[in-house]
Amino acid sequence: MNTNYDLLRRKEIIEILDGDTTIEEIDGVRIAMPYLSGPQLCELSQKFGCYQEYYWGKSKKPNLSRWQYLDNLLKYVINENKTSQLLSYMMSKERFLSTLSSLKNVEEIEKQYQYIFQSVIDKINSILYFGGHELCIINHQYIIKKLGVKVVLETPNLKIINKDYIKSLAERAIKNIEDNDVDSAITKSRTILEETFCYVIERKGETPSDSGDIGKLYKQVKDLYNMHTDKNMNKRINKLLSGLENIVQSIAEMRNNGSDSHGLGNKRINISDYHARLAVNSSIAMAEFILSVSQNSK
């Protein structure tokens, strides 16, 4: 784990990442990261497996400051070794839609995006500079390194995902349910799928999507293992495959702001223990199926 990522938790850097800091303004266009509200920061946290809640209306529970929500998320992804994935997601072109959508053509969009992107990196590095560090991108990974030091990223050892690992994680999820912590159980259900997808993608020598979107990971799996439904295949098998896709989508959305659950405050539905058990058991079935597909692939 790269402990230098902790440097990102400086408040002035967090205020850049959550959109508080305007780097400059050109012809009325604000050069900055997209502004993330409290609910959006909670939604982002949940996307990466860090449960945080935003309370609405007359709730007596106080909300955290926006920078505190992001600091909690950074602390979590640093511990889980997902910092690069988070930064990649936050800095992706799609996150700047509100800023770029008014531009006339692809060339203008790309030019403006690259300018904002580099301005953000430069602003963060102007802060890190005095401590002798810089944020840079090497082999599509965001890292923080010491100034003047050349870094060669080693290929990480492939984490082994097998039925025993899935069973172990599932048992911990069931224990969460028994302790009335259904949110942690849902998170583990997603983790079972996410880690299985990443594992079988890496077995093909490919790099898993770092967008934080489990649906994109599953699409990679389908493409790499030619899992698209075949009209010549038995209809009942096709229905099973379609059902598995619904499992992936449902588990991914159970705590997303855009789903039926809303996931936040008084708009958030309650998930019963039997719903959580269904999610856990479904993720086990899906993960074991994907492992079997991978193991039987030429």
Residue 120 tokens read as 């953000």
Higher confidence at residue 138 or residue 13? 13
Q: How many CA atoms lie within 13 A of 5 on its CB side?
A: 22
> Who's near 119: CB < 8 A, 6+ residues apart?
23, 24, 31
Residue type, 94: E
**Contacts of 114-123 spanning 24+ positions with Cβ under 8 A:** 115/31, 116/31, 116/32, 117/91, 119/23, 119/24, 119/31, 120/16, 120/23, 120/32, 120/33, 120/91, 123/16, 123/21, 123/23
pLDDT at position 77 is: 92
Sign, CA dihedral 97-102-104-108, equals: negative
Of 53-57, 188-192, 193-197, 230-234, the range with the lowest mean pLDDT is: 230-234
> Who's near 285: CB < 8 A, 6+ residues apart?
244, 247
pLDDT-based confidence at residue 237 (cuts at 50, 70, 90): confident
pLDDT at position 231 is: 64
Q: How many whole angstroms separate alpha carbon 51 and alpha carbon 57?
A: 20
Higher confidence at residue 208 or residue 262? 208
Q: How many whole angstroms separate alpha carbon 267 and alpha carbon 261?
A: 7
**pLDDT, tens digit (0-9, with 9 covering 90-100), for 179-191:** 888 888 888 888 8
Q: What is the DSSP string of 82-150?
A: -HHHHHHHHTSGGGGHHHHTTSSSHHHHHHHHHHHHHHHHHHHHHHHGGGTEEEEEETTEEEEEETT--
Q: How many whole angstroms separate alpha carbon 228 and alpha carbon 237?
A: 12
Nearest to 92 by CA among 257, 209, 218: 209
Q: How many whole angstroms separate alpha carbon 292 and alpha carbon 81?
A: 27
pLDDT at position 206 is: 84
Answer whether residue 31 shows pLDDT above 60: yes
pLDDT-based confidence at residue 266 (cuts at 50, 70, 90): very low
pLDDT at position 157 is: 52
Nearest to 112 by CA among 180, 31, 47, 37: 31
Of 42-46, 149-153, 159-163, 185-189, the range with the lowest mean pLDDT is: 149-153
Answer whether residue 39 shows pLDDT above 60: yes
Instruction: For the chain, give the mean pLDDT.
Output: 82
Parallel/antiparallel/unpaired status of strands 133-138 and 29-31: unpaired
Higher confidence at residue 70 or residue 160? 70
Higher confidence at residue 229 or residue 264? 229
pLDDT at position 181 is: 84
Higher confidence at residue 101 or residue 146? 146
Can you tell me the mean pLDDT for 241-247? Answer: 78
Residue 177 tokens read as 């349910």
Answer whether residue 263 shows pLDDT above 50: no
pLDDT-based confidence at residue 161 (cuts at 50, 70, 90): confident
Answer whether residue 117 shows pLDDT above 60: yes
> Who's near 233: CB < 8 A, 6+ residues apart?
none
Q: Please, are residues 31 and 122 in contact by the beta-carbon 8 Å criterion?
A: no
Q: How many CA atoms lie within 13 A of 175 on its CB side?
A: 6
Q: How many whole angstroms separate alpha carbon 253 and alpha carbon 230?
A: 27
Q: How many whole angstroms separate alpha carbon 125 and alpha carbon 83?
A: 17
